[in-house]
Homo-oligomer: A and B are copies of this chain.
Amino acid sequence: MPLPKKRVDALHLNEQLCFTLYSTVHLLNRTYRPLLEKLGLTYPQYLAMLVLWEEDDVTVKALGERLLLDSGTLTPLLKRLESAGLVKRERDVLDERQVRIRLTTSGRGLRAKAECVPPSILEASGSSLEELQDLKARVLAIREALSSRLEQEPPPAPASKRRKTG
């Protein structure tokens, strides 16, 4: 046998964890969609509401740090939540650069209807809570590795200001 395949081809689609994660996230989104439609939310909007249900009255920046999203994504998303009557967006009085996001009564009320979502997803996953918790921890480790790497390397640094490694 003169090796019919070139070892374990790293460029083979089905070998790649990344593709598995990528396609699984899309299937998860499709699974969430009919559940969240009843709440009038998309999945990223649902994530923003999760943060607000935990801690009301947060800035766009703080929201972005929790969700790992930037203002280019959040600004239009929050405007849609506002026009849906779920949140209010107001400039901070003490620091007008910031915009504070606050739940409306309607937004707070939506939480009760959201409580049936996680159990439905758990069931659809076909896995146990323990398995999912274990997976979460392992994937988190990868996310942290990617995250710390992305924070350091990219700065092409125009010049001057070498305060990190100097």
Residues in A lying within 8 Å of B, measured CB to CB: 10-13, 16-28, 30-32, 34, 43, 47, 50-51, 53-54, 66-68, 111, 114-115, 117-119, 121, 124-127, 131-133, 135-136, 138-147, 149-150, 154
Contact = CB atoms under 8 A, between A and B. Distances in A.
A13 B54 contact: yes
A144 B126 CA distance: 9
- Give the 4 A-B CB pairs with smallest separation, nearest first: A126-B145, A10-B118, A24-B143, A17-B136
Given A24-B139, A126-B141, A127-B141, A13 B146 contact: no
A11 B149 contact: no
Given A17-B136, A54-B12, A146 B118 contact: no
A47 B31 contact: no
Total copies of this chain within the assembly? 2
A67 to B, nearest CB: 7
A10 B119 contact: yes
B132 A17 contact: yes
A23 to B, nearest CB: 5
Contacts of A136: 16-17, 20
A110 to B, nearest CB: 11
Given A22-B25, A28-B21, A121-B18, A127 B146 contact: no
A21 B66 contact: no
